[in-house]
């Protein structure tokens, strides 16, 4: 992967970019499950969303 070829600040920037993108995608998928999943799946997704959003907030703060 691209990350394996990087080091130092270049690795840090790419890792934060990857984590931000990944968490945004995960949040979108979890939000979809809240809307369309069965009762148990929606409840699980709803319970995890605050943690995912906090992780995204942290990743975004690292990119500044």
Q: Average of pLDDT values for 1-8?
A: 91
CA distance linking residue 32 with residue 46, whole number of Å: 10
Residue 34, domain member (yes or no): yes
Residue 40, domain member (yes or no): yes
Residue 2, domain member (yes or no): no
Residue 1, domain member (yes or no): no
Domain extent for 40: 9-62
**CB neighbour class for 62 (10 Å; exposed up to 12, middle 13-18, buried from 19):** middle
Residue 3, domain member (yes or no): no
pLDDT at position 59 = 95
pLDDT at position 2 = 86
pLDDT at position 31 = 99
Tell whether the model's pLDDT for residue 1 goes beyond 90. no
Question: 13-62 pLDDT, tens per residue?
Answer: 999 999 999 999 999 999 999 999 999 999 999 999 999 999 999 999 99
Element (H, E) at 28: helix 8-36
Residue 17, domain member (yes or no): yes
**CB neighbour class for 20 (10 Å; exposed up to 12, middle 13-18, buried from 19):** middle
Residue 37, domain member (yes or no): yes
pLDDT at position 63 = 85
Residue 13 CB partners (closer than 8 Å, separation 6+): 63
């Amino acid at each position: 992967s691209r990350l394996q070829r990087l080091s130092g600040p270049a690795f840090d920037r790419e890792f934060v970019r990857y984590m931000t993108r990944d968490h945004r995608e995960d949040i979108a998928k979890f939000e979809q499950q809240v809307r369309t999943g069965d009762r148990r799946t929606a409840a699980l997704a709803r319970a995890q969303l605050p943690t995912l959003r906090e992780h995204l907030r942290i990743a975004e703060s690292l990119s500044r």
